[in-house]
Amino acid sequence: MLVNGMKMKSRLLRDRMCFILVCTFAALTAVPLLAILGEVFVRGCTQFSWDFITEPTPTALKAMMAMRAGDAIPGGIANGIVGSLIMLGMAAAVAVPVGVLCGVYLAENSKKRFAVVVSYLSDLLQGTPSVIIGMITYVWVVVPMKGYSAIAGSVALFIMMLPLIIRSTEETMKILPASLKEAGLALGGNNARVMLKVQLPAAFGGIFTGVLLAVSRVVGETAPLIFTALGCSMVRWEIDKPIAAVPLLIWEFFNDPNLQELIWGASLFLLLFVLCLNITAKYLAKKWNK
Amino acid sequence: MNDKVFKIILFAAALVIPLICGGVIYSLTIDASDAFSRFGFFEFLTSSEWDYTIDNEKYGALPFIVGTLLTTLLALLFCIPFSLPVSLFIGEYFKGRKIAELLGTVTDLLAGIPSIIYGLWGFYTLRPLIIALDISPQGSGILTASLVLAIMIVPYAASLSAEFIKMVPNEIKESAYSLGATRAEVIRDVVFPVAGSGIFSSYILAIGRALGETMTVTMLIGNTNQIPQSLTATANTMASIIANQFGEADGLRFSALIAIGLLLFLITAIINVIGKFLIKRARIM
């Protein structure tokens, strides 16, 4: 009896230990998140000002002189913000229609062999390291155009956004009730009309959430932009010339000792942008699911 | 709109993906062929020389393959003790409760942080710590890179594993409880065997992510082109050598870098296909 009791006790003890360990280690994963957010916020806030988002990046010389004089480095990341928005806009303008149509195709023809293959390839493209997307865009766009450009950068972002939009569209279309389509067809609409006027509007919330998430995923991408957009120290609107982007600027500041002061402000901006997109998408997804 | 026209438009949109994938493989193979034909495929894979002085150009991918494998395996090792508890927390202990949702949000946000910011954090916070602890004199190296890489892949491994842990049917868990099993025993003897293949596949996909991670590794690994002699040594991965040198490369070096890119593409593709296949099988079971 005594032996049994002790055995029971050790089993219960082990159960307790297991629970405590799981909780401790699970809680520990929140530590890096808090540490990263904390560091970026604390060090970034001191640099953040209106000028920081409306002025272009200073040259290394200007920054060095300001540092010598003991002043704050003048200028900010306006060139990066404009560049990022231009490239994201161009990429999304192509990726959204193509991605949504492809997603619709996959949801409608999920049994066809071709659709299964496309679905697999889309996953494959999504898993492809972003640096390879940058490489391939260099070969496809930068080499024939004989120079880095905003167009090349947005092609790279387009290739990265496409599989994300396809997947979210496909998933949204698949959970739409079949009765919706049947009701539309019963009213005498043909397939195309029902899709455009009934099914797609009904799926709008889910697709929109997917697009927001796709944008938030690619806005921080740096590696593919290094060999496509290159960077530029002034605010630029021409799309056939090298252009700046916020993550590219962070990379530049990281490599240039004179500009290192600006690193945390730029990171704070990028992080806030990504988190806002993420949280908005989450909120919309919740609302849409109800 | 005409149904036929609409169908053609849909089909054309679906055609874009195979075109891109085929194009990627085609272009990489064409541009890599220079390096492969000059050094030979297997010699390129097994040579550890990376010399770009003119007239004496020699390129081999071995140091970068070793660097990639080491960082990925180490990251996986560091990731498991955190991602497994997270998935048990979300999928078993606090299944469906508010606090599980909170932890899920935390890991989602971790997944959303751009890799360059992870790199900055690793460089300015973790690297001084590693120097202070006297683990390595320069602070950057394989160990530092894999630690940050581990944090980056925890969300991917954890959220997918939790999904499989959640799917373990209540009836079998309850029958184990009715026989007097404790919760820890149920997890060990019921949850893990049933959800095991799903959990395994989620780690395969996490490996796929770690293999190609570029900016974080480039900022933290120290960027030297030799085979690393220890885990704290500096090195380069396949992704980081591309990020470092592709912009300034031409001729044979350009081709060698493309060849490394092709190898990395094929490795991640294979890992992802295996992972996806295992997940599909685990879902059916």
Residue in chain A nearest B30 by alpha carbon = A139
Contact by Cβ (8 Å): B99, A22: no
Domain range for residue B221? 64-237+265-284
In a domain, B52, yes or no: no
* Residue among B1, B239, B261 whose CB faces A193 most closely: B1
In a domain, B92, yes or no: yes
Task: Give the number of residues written for chain B.
Answer: 285
Residues 6+ apart with CB under 8 A from B252: B34, B35, B38, B57, B59
Is B11 close to A105, i.e. CB distance below 8 A?
yes
CA distance A87 to A91: 6
Contact by Cβ (8 Å): A29, B86: yes
- On the CB side of B172, CA atoms within 13 Å amount to 15
Is A11 close to B185, i.e. CB distance below 8 A?
yes
CA distance A184 to A181: 5
Tell me whether B268 touches chain A (CB under 8 Å): yes
Between vectors from CA A29 to CA A28 and to CA A32, what angle results, nearest 5°? 100
CA distance A43 to A267: 10
CA distance A236 to A243: 7
What pTM value is reported for the model? Answer: 0.94
Please give chain A's pLDDT, 290 residues, in tens. 566 778 888 999 999 999 999 999 999 999 999 999 999 999 998 888 888 888 888 887 788 888 788 777 788 899 999 999 999 999 999 999 999 999 999 999 989 999 999 999 999 999 999 999 999 999 999 999 999 999 999 999 999 999 999 999 999 999 888 899 899 999 988 888 899 889 999 999 899 999 999 999 999 999 999 999 988 888 888 899 999 999 999 999 999 888 888 899 999 999 999 999 998 998 888 887 66
Domain count within chain B:
1
In a domain, B10, yes or no: no
Q: Which of B194, B170, B161 is nearest to B275 (CA)?
A: B161
Cβ neighbours, 10 Å, residue B209 = 22
In a domain, B93, yes or no: yes
Which residues in chain A are contacts of B214 at CB distance < 8 A?
129-131, 222-223
CATH code (residue B228): 1.10.3720.10
Is B212 close to A98, i.e. CB distance below 8 A?
no
Which residues in chain A are contacts of B213 at CB distance < 8 A?
129
End-to-end CA distance of chain B: 43
**In three state form, how does the secondary structure of A82-119 look?**
HHHHHHHHHHHHHHHHHHHHHHHHHHHCCCCHHHHHHH
Q: Which two tokens stand for residue B166?
A: 């959640």
Tell me whether A22 touches chain B (CB under 8 Å): yes
CA distance A127 to B26: 18
In a domain, B32, yes or no: no
In a domain, B38, yes or no: no
Q: Which residues 196-235 of B are in CB contact (within 8 Å) with A?
A: 205, 208-209, 211-215, 218-219
Q: Which residues 174-203 of A are in CB contact (within 8 Å) with B?
A: 190-193, 195-196
Contact by Cβ (8 Å): B265, A128: yes
Is A129 close to B213, i.e. CB distance below 8 A?
yes
